[in-house]
Amino acid sequence: MPATGETPGAMTPTTEPRVPTVAIVVKGYPRLSETFIAQELLGLQERGLAFRIVSLRRPTDTATHPVHDAITAPVDYLPEYLHEDVARVWRGWTAARRLPGYERARRTWLRDLRRDPTPNRARRFGQACVLAAELDPAITHLYAHFLHTPASVARYAAMMRGITWSVSAHAKDIWTTPEWEKREKLADTAWAVTCTAIGARHLAELAPDTERVSLLYHGLDTSEFPPPAPRPRRDGSNPHEPITIVSVGRLVQKKGYDDVLAALQFLPTDVNWRFVHIGGGAYAGRLKQAADIMSLSDRIDWRGAQSRAGVIAALTEADLFVLASKIAPDGDRDGLPNVLMEAQAMTLPVVATSVSAIPELIDDRINGRLVPPGDFKALAAALEELIRDPSARLRMAASGRARVLTEFSADAGLDRLAARFGLTGAPRAEGRSDAA
């Protein structure tokens, strides 16, 4: 992607043997919490798609997953805040104004701005100008992950360049984006995919035609999650061998960790347990304070964000997995959390909530337990039931792994997505790195 000038961070032409024809727009890259995106990028790379990654933000995580090391696509970073690189933004806007679709993009943005008069909306247009101005002429399609900010940048830039664009929608971006914006983006996009049936139905109702939106489960690369050795048949009765309950997820409202703490406090005193949490988030301080108030802290291990190896180690050591997702007051909610599939792939029994697309993965009492979201007493009862019954844990865990392997493997979805990019019938590349 030729840059306008030599500004550090500007996009530069690739010297790869295969010239990328697709740019994939993401919020930030790489990110520990978005392994489903990295898994998809690697899968597309293995199927022969040449692409560049365009990130709206620079990475903030200090570590990466092995899958990130296996992705060879070049990464371009747009100015996250326009005032931090005024010269590059000015050059981008000046060049973008000469593009054939600039006026259409500007009118679209002004119409959007009147309905959403926020600094973020202005920032999206500035980033789009830089993207459109610096985009390599070989790029003929933009593909955005998330229907909100990345899709806005891709949409405006695609208009300016006169090229097509598409989007992969997930969870928060679906349920917190205004209906008018979803309708108009879906009308402009060449195609859209989303990772849950409930999300696909919702978006299809807003699209100009139902064929515009497809269900595409992220699925799981199960080769990364080998089943561990048989787990001990602990039942929580021995204080020297407590049950280990693990959860992986950001400490934000929609993940329901306040309900998890309340459920743990509600467990009978003769149940011996430890709780391990992996992930960071805005609610970390208040949740740790709540655990102190509940006198639970001496049985909780807050490990923070971890590498894939750290996650797998925790899943291997645990007896039970819990995730208490719920709908936040602003409408934000999970889609189908990958961590549930990861836990099941590791033959770990799961307790979750019947919110959003989670029931698409878990059948209550068949391959896990489901309880109503926000009901900490029901959550405690489900946890106690499985803690006291190792046989039920083993049965549900085996059923969960079998379902993930047969119905939620990543390969089928990646093949369908590759076909969207014109790679129908393209074989998956051989010799994938073991580090991936």
For residue 164, the SS3 value is strand
> According to the model, what pLDDT value does residue 435 have?
27
- Judge: domain 22-219+409-420, CATH 2.60.120.380: no
d(CA 65, CA 49): 21
Contact 78, 101 (CB under 8 A): no
The reply to whether 224-407 shares the fold of 22-219+409-420 is: yes
Contact 258, 291 (CB under 8 A): no
pLDDT, tens digit, 9 for 90 and up, residues 104-161:
999 999 999 999 999 999 999 999 999 999 999 999 999 999 999 999 999 999 999 9
CATH class belonging to 224-407 = alpha beta
Contact 42, 70 (CB under 8 A): yes
pLDDT, tens digit, 9 for 90 and up, residues 172-207:
899 999 999 999 999 999 999 998 888 999 999 999
Q: Given a cut of 80, is residue 394 above it in pLDDT? A: yes
> According to the model, what pLDDT value does residue 182 have?
97
Q: 12's torsion region: left (phi>0), alpha (psi -120 to 50) or beta?
A: beta
For residue 51, the SS3 value is strand
What residue spans of 135-281 are helical by DSSP H? 149-161, 172-176, 179-188, 197-206, 257-266
Residue 252 DSSP class: S
Q: Look-up: residue for tokens 């593909």?
A: 143
- Phi first, then psi: what are they for 277, rounded to 5°? -120, 135
Tell me the pLDDT of the chain averaged across its residues. 90
Residues 6 or more apart in contact with residue 62 via CB below 8 angstroms: none
Q: Given a cut of 90, is residue 278 above it in pLDDT? A: yes
How many residues comprise the chain? 436
> According to the model, what pLDDT value does residue 159 have?
98
Q: What are the residue boundaries of the structural domains of the chain, listed by start?
A: 22-219+409-420, 224-407
pTM for this prediction: 0.72
For residue 421, the SS3 value is coil
